[in-house]
Structure 1
Amino acid sequence: MPTPAEPARLREPAPSDGTGQPPEPDLRHHGDAEVRGTKGGSTDLTDLAVNVRAHTPPDWLKARIAASLDGLAAYPDGRAARRAVAVRHGLPVERVLLTSGAAEAFVLIARAVPARRPVVVHPQFTEPEAALRDAGHDVTRVLLGERDGFRVDPAAVPEDADLVVVGNPTNPTSVLHPAEALARLARPGRTLVVDEAFMDAVPGERASLAGRTDLPGLVVLRSLTKTWGLAGLRIGYVLAAPGTVAALERAQPLWPVSSPALAAAEACCAPAALAEAAAAAEETAGDRAHLLARLDGFPEVRAVRPAEGPFVLIRLPGAAEVRAGLRARGFAARRGDTFPGLGRDWLRLAVRDRATTDRFVAALADVLAEQGPAT
């Protein structure tokens, strides 16, 4: 097995012949699967598995989306939304591409960006690697380790990597990498993809590279689905050099973003919306601190720190059984073993309000007491 800082070649699923090799992680497993009923229906679970901000979208945003329905007979026109995103980041419109959620951007990159040696820094959101594999790429993994706090080391990325994908803040670790460290990964001849899907949940969006135009090959991905509760609407965007934007746009189908999603994008880039998002980020930071403080009451639970996203990653013995026990008590948590570099002892927890956290902690205490001391 590779050490945490070493690149690992992509492996096929391990055979079930008693070799002892761990199975290949399920890259297509996502948090929404934890919340669904066993037959695909809805449940009454308290959702700690999906990193979408609770009690969203707000009423004013729902009203803007609803108003757009009167124009559904016309084909979508993304020019106003594209300008709004450009103004929001201080960029020319030629550097903006609207997408059907940030996840679509990974597919576009895998299909349209030439790469001989793509590298994905793990553990992180698994769709980038899945998209690259689907496009026929042989993917190299760079695995970050717990002993180093899951912090990225630019020196661990192979020199000949011509496409590098990294999250910031990273899902599921909640680690915020310094902008300077990520900037060191940029170089001529390399495409550097930074997934900033959760950056608007970081107070001040510190460490963001979204407005940078001086780094060669930089591609920044953003999502509007997390903070604004628009996962079902699908809206995100790419920020990159005009040539890269044009190449990705050619790989898109016609009218890839619906009129309601375009209306949402324009609305979420308005000054009042940005102020609301900033306030929500500060509130989330306080709620996260409360969750971490409560988790400190369990000696068997270890949380990754410092956490900067709207979720925390924890390690505890028997996490798979704990997750099942929590589900029986009405809480859905995200399993960690589907993320390369983690295993069965990891869970990801979305940050919720303090009352919800207190109810969760009581349920966790019951589960751990029922299971008894770890052996």
Structure 2
Amino acid sequence: MVGEPGPDQTGAQDGDRDPLRHHGDVEVGPGLVDLAVNVLGEAPPPWLRARLAAALDDLAAYPSAADDAAAREAVARRHGRSADEVLVLNGSAEGFALLPRLAPRHAVVVHPGFTEPEAVLRDAGVPVTRVLTDQADGHRLDPHAVPADADLVVVGNPTNPTGVLHPRATLRTLARPGRVLVVDEAFADAVPGEPESLADAADVPGLLVLRSLTKTWALAGLRAGYALGAPELLGRLGAGRPHWPVGTLVLAAVRACVEPSAVAESAEAARRLARLRADQAAALGALPGVRVQDGVAPYLLLTLPPGTGVDVRERLRANGFAVRRGDTFPGLGPDHIRVAVRGPQVAAAFTRALADALRAGAVAA
């Protein structure tokens, strides 16, 4: 369904000046167990750290065109594309920051979803319409809900925070001449087999796929990602970027993380995450009044009993757990929280803490 276009639709609390710019990292603090951020692991794996350390010796020189070409060629091999269909980015968030350069006249952002694209577009004065998925329908995307005159459409796959994976065929129906279709695949490599990815779909007109390497490889502080699309589209997207737009360490990280051995390692991690997710979802879904959104991403969207969300978040924080509030996502409210998938011990401890918070709220009522 189509939602109201205004930025106040989120129902945000706690004094956020711009709820669209609220992200999970601000929930985390000293001494808190982090379930608010979806980065996997506490540090890059040793082999990746070694690659980055080796690149430190090259920091006296500016990144060269050859360095950029090598990174683009590596990404192209990974997805069966050509190097001129790759643009290396400082994280996929930079790709969203560049969207206003495409000069859209009417943008659509599918929500609940990552809010940064809408924030960037609104800041640039682009009219934005929100298309809201419906929890009662499993937050599945209805392509007919997207206005026909939209010349830019942004959708996540899997979507953050719902974790829903939209069928590749459904997303393809959104493409049409004169429209840019932006598919945020920041978490696609966390889904076993990447079954609905459009990263290899060079035949879809106007398709722009954004990929992040920061989640799987614990590189949030480095900012590494890339865009996939037609050369003409990438040229428009990247026009006006500063000289040397991506640093040496980012280029080294991109090359390392798309090599076959790294792709195999991330595929195994995705299978492991799927098992952990199923166990964590089952345990949380067994708590009275808690609903867990069906999905595939390395995070879970929880609906808490009506009217309990704010108090539960505060009790969880007091007991050492940081979770991502849901009410800054358009289409969700204060009784929604997003929690990252974690290992068995952390997941079990969090389940107990959530049960305690719910019981304390019931007693107080």
Fold agreement, TM-score > 0.5: yes
Task: Give the equivalent residue in structure 1 for 2:50.
Answer: 63
Q: Work out which of the residue numbers 187, 195, 204 in structure 2 matches 1:206.
A: 195
**SS of alignment partner, residue 98 of structure 2:** helix
Amino acid at match of 2:303: R
> Any idea what SS the aligned residue of 2:239 has?
helix
Pairing 1:83–2:73 present? yes
Q: 1:321 to 1:196 in 2, by over 3 A?
A: same
**How many pairs align?**
357
Match of 2:4 in 1: 8
The structure 1 residue matched to 2:28, chosen from 23, 35, 49, is 35
Alignment of 1:92-111 (within 5 A): 92-110=82-100
Q: Is 1:355 paired with 2:348?
A: no
Alignment of 1:192-341 (within 5 A): 192-305=181-294, 307-317=295-305, 318-341=308-331
1:148-180 CA-to-partner distances (Å, cap 9, x unmatched) read: 111100000001111000000000000000001
Q: Which residue of 2 aligns with 1:139?
A: 128
Report deviation, 1:13. Answer: 7.8
Q: How far is the alpha carbon of 1:11 from its aligned partner?
A: 4.3
Q: Which is further off, 336-345 or 358-367?
A: 358-367
Residue 261 of structure 2 aligns to a residue whose secondary structure is helix
Aligned to 1:365: 355
1:309 partner amino acid: A
Q: Which residue of 1 aligns with 2:33?
A: 46
1:115 aligns with 2:104: yes
| Aligned equivalents of 2:159, 2:275: Cα separation in 1 | 19
1:114 Cα deviation after fit:
2.3
Q: Alpha carbons of 1:153 and 1:362: their partners in 2 closer, same or farther (altered >3 Å)? A: same
| Partner residue of 1:186 out of 156, 161, 175 | 175
Indicate the percent of aligned positions where both proteins have the same amino acid: 56
C-alpha displacement of 1:297? 1.9
Report the 3-state secondary structure (helix = DSSP H, G, I; strand = E; otherwise coil) of the residue aligned with 2:20: coil
Q: Is the Cα contact below 8 Å between 1:175 and 1:308 reproduced in 2?
A: yes
Q: After TM superposition, give the deviation of residue 296 of structure 1 in Å.
A: 2.1
Check conservation: 2:73, 2:83, Cα contact below 8 A.
Answer: yes
C-alpha change, 1:341 and 1:12, in structure 2 (3 Å) is: closer
Unaligned runs of 5+ in 2: none
Judging changes above 3 Å, is the alpha-carbon distance between structure 1 residues 345 and 244 closer, same or farther for their aligned structure 2 residues? same
Q: Distance in 2 between the 1:165 and 1:85 partners?
A: 22
1:55-79: per-residue Cα shift (whole Å, max 9, x none)? 3310110110111010001111312
Amino acid at match of 1:312: L
Shift of 1:48: 0.3
Secondary structure (helix, strand or coil) at the match of 1:187 reads: coil
The answer to whether the 8 Å contact 2:10/2:328 transfers is no
Residue in 2 that maps onto 1:74: 61
The letter of the residue matching 1:264 is: A
- Native 8 Å contact 1:14 1:24 kept in 2: no
Q: Secondary structure at the match of 1:121?
A: strand
Normalising by structure 1, we get a TM-score of 0.92
Q: 1:11 to 1:329 in 2, by over 3 A?
A: closer
Question: What is the alpha-carbon distance in structure 2 between the residues aligned to residue 175 and residue 83 of structure 1?
Answer: 31
Runs (5+) with no aligned partner, structure 1: 16-22, 37-42
The separation in 1 between residues aligned to 2:82 and 2:23, in whole angstroms, is 34
- Residue 208 of structure 1 deviates from its aligned partner by 0.2
Cα RMSD after superposing both structures: 1.8
- CA deviations over 1:210-253 (Å, ceiling 9, x no partner): 00011110000000000000000001100010001111221322
Give the CA deviation at 1:12: 5.2
Output the amino acid matched with 1:320: V
Shift of 1:10: 2.4
Change (3 A) 1:24 1:159: farther
Matched-pair contact (CA < 8 Å) for 1:223–1:237: yes
* Aligned CA distance change for structure 1 residues 273 and 11 (closer, same or farther; 3 Å): closer
